[in-house]
Structure 1
Amino acid sequence: MNKKFLTLGVASLLTASSFAQVKPLVPNKDAIRFSKAINPENGFKHLSVLASDEYEGRETGKKGAWMAADYIRNYFKSIGLKGPVNGEYFQKIDLVNLMLKESHVTLNGQVKDYQKDYLVLPNTISDKGFTFSSDEVVFVGYGLKKDNYDDFAGVDIKGKVIMMFSNGDPTLKQGERMDRNAMMKIRKDRADYLAQNNVKAIITIDPNVDRLSEAYKKYLNDGQVMVKTKSMAEAQKQNDVPRISISSALANEILKSTNTTVADLQKKIIDSKTPASQVLNIPFSASATKTETPVRCENVLGFLEGSDPKLKNEVLVLTGHYDHIGLVNDPNAKDKVNNGADDDGSGTTGVLLMAKAFTDAKKAGKGPKRSILFMTVVGEEKGLWGSDWYSEHPVFPVENTIANLNTDMIGRIGEEYLGKPDSANYIYSIGSNMLSSDLGKLSEQVNATYTKMKLDYKYDDPKDTERIYYRSDHYNFAKLGIPIIFYYDGMLQQDYHKPGDEVSKINFPLLAKRAQLTYYTAWELANQAKRPVVDMDGAGHPKK
C-alpha cells in the first residue's frame, strides 16, 4: 500500500458489522463449489514465487517487477483468461527515466555545487532545458496571498527571479494546521499569480537540501522515474519556468548584503505577521538540461467474458498491485530485499486465486453473467501509477464498469487485532458505502451468507488520520464514480515497507478466507440482475 496521503475528505459510518444482524442471501452451490480453488496451498504456491528474494522486491521499472509481470501474464494465459489489450495481457504504461544531464548555478560570479548548495530535479525541467540570469532576486517570503496577508504587496515580480521559502504559513497560530483544501487552493492561487506575472525563475529555500542523505543522492543520480499521465502532462506545462531548490547556506549568501539570515527573516515574519518582501541586488544565473529514457512498465490484465448476451458488456474489475519498493538502499543491511509478501503480494495472490475459481466455473458451464477483468497493477507504491493510467486509458468503457474490488494487504494480522479472539477472522472493509448503498448492503449479505467475518469499517471514518481510503488503487476507480470495496488487513507498523514482510509471516488460511469474501462478493455482483446503483456522493452521503 502506498505511503502517500492523497487529497479530499471521507465520510461514513460504523466501526464493525455483525453478520447476525444482516439478512443472508440464499447460498449459491456453484459459488461454493468453485471457491475451493481459493485455498492456502494455492496461495502459498503463488506468493512463494512473487515474494521470493529472486524477485528483488518488485520495484516498478526494475527487473523484479518485470519478472512478476511475466509470471502473472503466463498464469492468466495458462488458465484461459484472454488478453484484452489488442489480444495482449500487458497494458503498457508510458514510464520514463529522467536524468539531469548538466546544471550550473552561479551567485555573484561564483560557481555553486550541485547537491550541496542547490538541487534541480529533472521532472521540473522542460524538454528544452533552461538558462537564465539576473542582476537581482526578489524575495517574497512564503509566496502567500491570504486574507490580510500578502507577500507580493509592494514588490514587482513581473519577469523577475523570485526567491521564497519552500513551505509554511506565518498567519497560523502556534499549533494550528492548515486545512488540506485551503492549502491546495493557496498553492493553485500562487501558481496562477506567478504565471500571470510571467516570473523568470523560482528559487525555493528548502532546508532538505541542507541534509541530503547518501541514499537520496543516489536516487537522484540514478534518475527520476515518472509516468507521463494526462495529469502529469498538465503539471509539466509549468516547467517552462525554471525551478531551483537552494540550501539555507546559499540563501544566507544571497541575503548577506541585507545583514540578515533565513532564520532571522522567518522569525521576523512569524512574530510580526507582516511580510518582509524585498529586492536583493546580487547577480544570479543558472542553466540545466535533462535526458529522457523509456522504461518497461505494465499493468497485467486477464479477461473473462460474461455468459449473458445482455450483461456481458458490463465489467467487474478485480485489482491488486504486484509492485513493491525493491531493494534496501543500505549497503550494510543483512537483508537487502523488501519482499512485500503482504504488501501486496497477498492481494495479487488473491486476484490469481479468484481468477482460477472463475475460470474453473466457466469451463464447467457456470461462468459469470457479466464479464470480469482481473487486473494486477504496477506503480502503486510510487503514487497509484498503474491504476491512474488505467483510469485515463480504460480498456473497457467507464460507464460499463460496475464496480472495483481491490485487495491490498490481506495476508496478516494488523496491530489492533493481535492477541484478540477474532484476530484470524476479520478484515477492514473500506469504501463499500461511499458511492453505492447497494454495494454496502450486498457486502454485508455476502459476508453473512458465506464467510461470517468481522467487517471493520474503522477506515471509513472521516477523522482517519492515516487517510487509508485514498491510498490504494481502488481510489482511481472511485474518482470516476465507480463503486468500490477495498479489503485491507491493517498492518501499518510491523514490517510495513521493511525486509521483514516475508512469506514466512503470512497467515495463508486467513489470506484465503479474505480472498473468498472478495470472490463471493464478485460472484454476486457478476450474476445479480442489476448492477449496484450509484446513489451516494463519494463521501458516504446520499446524493441530493
Structure 2
Amino acid sequence: MRQLALATALATTLLSAGALAQAPQDGAGSLGARISPDSLRGHLSYLSSDLLEGRATPSRGLDLAAEYIAAQFRRAGLEPAGDDGYFQTANWQYAQRQPGDLALTVNAGGATLNVPHGGASAGFLDPLSLAATPAVFMSWKAALEDGGAANGKVLVVPAAPVPGAAATLQKQLKSKPALILMVDRERRHSRSGDGWLIDPEQPVVKGAPPVVLLHAADAAAALEKGGATVAASVKPPQVRPVKLRNVVGLLRGSDPQLKNTYVLLSAHYDHLGIRDGEIYNGANDDASGTVAVIETAAALAAEKERPKRSIVFIALWGEELGLLGSRYYGRHPVFPVKDTVANLNLEQVGRTDDSEGPQVASVTMTGFDYSNVSDYLRKAGEQTGVRLWKHPKNSDMYFARSDNQSLADLGVPSHTLAVAFGFGDYHGKDDTWDKIDYDNMARVTRTVALALRNIANDSSKPAWTSVPNAAKYLEASRQLHGGK
C-alpha cells in the first residue's frame, strides 16, 4: 500500500496546481479557461500508462487509478462522499483457476483436439467431470426454443456480445444439457488469468447447466460442423476477497432547497488489463471520460459561485465486465435516486478519428431524443462551437451499453456522451494516450461543464419524453416519484 500511495502522490505532483489554459476562443468564459488541453494530457498520460497495466477489474492498476482520481477530487476541494473517504466500496470475491484446472477435449471426425490453457474459461465454482458426450450446435433462437434435443448433451451456441448472456441462457433454456459451450472466438468475454468476480448479492441459479467459454478457433470450428463429442474436467477455483471502489466526490449546491437534489457526471475508469502479454491501455476507452470528469470537477469547484443543485462526480469500476460499478451504485446509491435529476456519462471523448469519418467540434449522445437533456447540451455547444448530433443508428443501439443504463432503469434521465462511437483501436492494444486530440477534447469537456452547470442551475429538472423507446424509462420515473 505504501508503494501504491507513493506512486499516486508522484503522479499527482507532476501536474501543476496553478496552471490555467489561455482563455479559449469560445463562449465558455472563465469556466472554459480552467479546462486545459495540457492538463487533460497530463492526467490521461498517467491513467493510461503502462504502470497501470490496463486497469483490469480487479487489479493493482485499477487501485492506482482509484487513488489518483481520489487525489484529484481532493485537490479540487470536493467533499468525500463514499463510505471510506472518496471510495464507495463493494466487498466482493474473485475466483481464479490455475493452469491445469480446466481440461477440454473435442473429438471430431476421428481427430482429437485438446484445448490449451487459455483456450477456454469457466466461471462456476463447482467441479465438473464429463466423459465424452455428444455435442449439438444451435443458434440462440433454436436453443431457447429447443424442447429436449439438447437434453444430456453438450449444447454449443455462439457467445453473445452482451453482459450476462450466459445467465440469461441458463434461466430461459427449456432443455437440460450436461454442459453449455459458448463459442467466443473474438475473446469478448475473456478474463485475465481465467478469473471472475462473484457478487454476493446475486443469487446462484440452482441446478443450471455449467457454462464454459471456448476461445480456441480450431475446436470451435469442429463443433460448429457437428458430429463431435466433448469431454471436460474442471476443478474448483481458488476464491479470495476483493475490494472494488467507485470514486465519489460532491460539489455541494448553494440553493437552500435545490442543494438537496443532485446532478451526476460519471465515467468508468476500468479497462481490459493485460491480454496475451500485451497491455491494453484504454486511453480513449475510457481514461478520456474519466479525465474529463476530473477536469470538469476542478473547473466547477474553482468557480466563485456554486451551482444551485449539488453535483456528484463519480468514476466507476467494472463497466467492461457488464456495468458492474454503476449497477452497484444503483443498488446502493450514495444520494437518493428520487432526488437525482440527471446523469451525464462520458465515454470515448478523446479520439476524433471515428470509424465513419473524422468528428471534430462535435459530440453525440445515446438515447438522443429520449429526454430533454439534449436541449442543455445543444445550448452549451452553441457557446463553445461544438455541434450536438444524433447518430441515426448508434444513438439508440448504444443506449444500453454504458453506465448511463443503470440509472436510466431506475427512472433518472441518463445518457452517454461520446465523440466517436467506433474507432480503429477500440478494445485494442494501441488505444494509447498519444492518439488523443486534446484540443478537441478540451472543447468537448467545456461543453459538458457548461451543460452540467446549466442543469444544476435550472429550477426545472430534465424529463423523459414520450418517444416509444423511452416509454419504460418514463414509467420508471413515474414510479420513482410516486406515480407523478
Q: Secondary structure at the match of 2:325?
A: helix
How many angstroms apart in 2 are the aligned matches of 1:473 and 1:401? Answer: 15
Alignment deviations for residues 92-131 of structure 1 (CA, whole Å, 9 cap, x no partner): 2234321247568999xxxx99846999855223xxx356
* 1:237 maps to amino acid: V
Indicate how the Cα distance of structure 1 residues 225 and 416 shifts in structure 2: closer, same or farther if over 3 A, else same: closer
- Mapped partners of 2:105, 2:167: distance in 1: 34
Q: Secondary structure at the match of 2:279?
A: coil
1:489 aligns with 2:419: yes
C-alpha distance in 2 between matches for 1:495 and 1:248: 22
SS at match of 1:44: helix
Q: 2: distance between equivalents of 1:143 and 1:510?
A: 43
Distance 1:30 1:250, change over 3 A: closer
SS in 2 for 1:539: helix
The alpha-carbon distance between structure 1 residues 443 and 538, as it changes in their structure 2 partners (threshold 3 A), is farther
Q: Which amino acid aligns with 1:226?
A: L
Structure 1 residues 74, 524: CA separation in 2 closer, same or farther (over 3 Å shift)? same
For residue 403 of structure 1, give the secondary structure of its aligned residue in structure 2. strand
Match of 2:298 in 1: 356
CA distance in 2, matches of 1:223, 1:416: 31
Q: Deviations over 1:159-217 (max 9, x none)?
A: xxx1143227xxxxxxxxx9x9xx999947743x35xxxx5x62236666xx899x999
Q: Which residue of 1 aligns with 2:262?
A: 315
Q: Is the 8 A contact 2:266 2:290 kept in 1?
A: yes
The structural deviation recorded for 1:85 is: 1.7
Q: In 2, Cα distance between the equivalents of 1:305 and 1:294?
A: 34
Matches within 5 A, 1:46-61: 46-61=43-58
Alignment CA distance shift 1:116-1:447 (3 Å): closer
Distance in 2 between residues matched to 1:512 and 1:249, nearest whole Å: 46
- Residue 58 of structure 1 contacts residue 326 of structure 1 at CA under 8 Å; is this kept in 2? yes
**Residue 457 of structure 1: CA displacement?**
0.6
Residue 59 (structure 2) aligns with: 62
Query: Given the alignment, which residue of 404, 412, 415 partners 2:343?
Result: 404
Separation (CA, whole Å) in 2 of partners of 1:186 and 1:146: 15
**Aligned CA distance change for structure 1 residues 188 and 241 (closer, same or farther; 3 Å):** closer
What residue in structure 1 maps to residue 240 of structure 2?
293
In 2, distance between residues paired with 1:144 and 1:487?
32
1:495 to partner: Cα distance: 2.4
**Match for 2:365 among 424, 429, 443?**
429
Aligned residues of 1:372 and 1:526 also touching (Cα < 8 A) = yes
Confirm or deny that 1:539 pairs with 2:475.
Answer: no
Distance 1:433 1:452 in 2: 21
Change (3 A) 1:538 1:443: farther
Q: 2:252 aligns with which of 305, 317, 332?
A: 305
Does 1:326 find its partner at 2:326? no
- Match for 1:429: what amino acid? M
What secondary structure sits across from 1:487 in the alignment? strand
Report the aligned-residue RMSD.
4.4
Larger radius of gyration: 1
Give the aligned residue type for 1:351.
Answer: V
Q: What amino acid is the match of 1:369?
A: K
Partner SS state of residue 236, structure 2 = strand
The Cα of 1:476 is off from its aligned counterpart by 1.6
Match of 1:502 in 2: 432
Asked if 1:392 is matched to 2:331, the reply is yes
SS at match of 1:477: helix
CA displacement at 1:491 relative to structure 2: 5.6
Structure 1 contact 388–476 (Cα < 8 Å) conserved: yes
**Given that residues 145 and 190 in structure 1 are in contact (C-alpha distance below 8 angstroms), is that contact kept between their aligned partners in structure 2?**
no
Q: How far is the alpha carbon of 1:68 from its aligned partner? A: 1.1
Q: CA deviation at 1:338?
A: 2.7
Would the aligned equivalents of 2:102 and 2:234 in 1 still touch at CA under 8 Å?
yes
Is 1:338 paired with 2:274? no
Deviations 1:301-338 (A, max 9, x none): 111111112111111110112222223524xxxxx433
Mapped to 2, the partners of 1:30 and 1:122 lie a distance apart of 53
Match of 2:480 in 1: none
Rounded to whole Å, the distance in 2 between the matches of 1:141 and 1:373 is 48
Task: Note the C-alpha offset of 1:344.
Answer: 1.5
Q: Give the letter aligned to residue 363 of structure 2.
A: I
Q: Are residue 34 (structure 1) and residue 31 (structure 2) matched? A: yes
Correspondent of 2:401 among 471, 474, 477 = 471
* Secondary structure at the counterpart of residue 179 of structure 2: strand
In 1, distance between residues paired with 2:217 and 2:426? 33
Q: 1:505 to 1:243 in 2, by over 3 A?
A: closer
Return the alpha-carbon distance in structure 1 between the equivalents of residues 46 and 62 of structure 2. Answer: 12
Q: Which runs of 5+ in 1 are unaligned?
A: 1-28, 169-177, 252-260, 267-279, 331-335
Structure 1 equivalent of residue 205 of structure 2 = 237
- Partner letter of residue 451 of structure 2? T
Residues in 1 aligned to 2:139 and 2:279: alpha-carbon distance in whole angstroms: 42
1:523 to 420, 429, 453: 453
Q: Are the counterparts in 2 of residues 117 and 250 from structure 1 also a CA contact under 8 Å?
A: no
1:441 corresponds to: 375
Structure 2 residue runs of 5 or longer lacking an equivalent are: 1-25, 107-111, 476-484
**So what's the TM-score if we normalise by structure 1?**
0.67
Q: SS state of the match for residue 312, structure 1?
A: helix
Q: Hey, what's the Cα distance between the residues in 2 that align with 1:348 and 1:63? A: 18
Q: Which moved more, 1:522-531 or 1:477-486?
A: 477-486
Supply the distance in 2 between the matched residues of 1:442 and 1:416 (Cα, whole angstroms).
Answer: 27
The percent of aligned pairs where both chains have the same amino acid is 26
User: What's the counterpart of residue 84 of structure 1?
Assistant: 81
Contact 1:432 1:484 in 2 (8 A): no
Change (3 A) 1:447 1:123: same
SS at match of 1:427: strand
Deviation at residue 519 of structure 1 after TM alignment: 0.7
Structure 1 residues 83, 116: CA separation in 2 closer, same or farther (over 3 Å shift)? same
TM-score of the superposed pair, with normalisation by structure 2? 0.75
- Structure 1 492/229 Cα, relative in aligned 2: closer, same or farther at 3 Å? farther
Work out which structure has the larger RCO, using CA pairs closer than 8 Å and 6 or more positions apart in sequence: 1
Q: Tell me, what secondary structure is at the counterpart of 1:346?
A: helix
Alignment correspondent of 2:195: 224
Return closer, same or farther for 1:530/1:98 CA change in 2, 3 Å cut-off: same
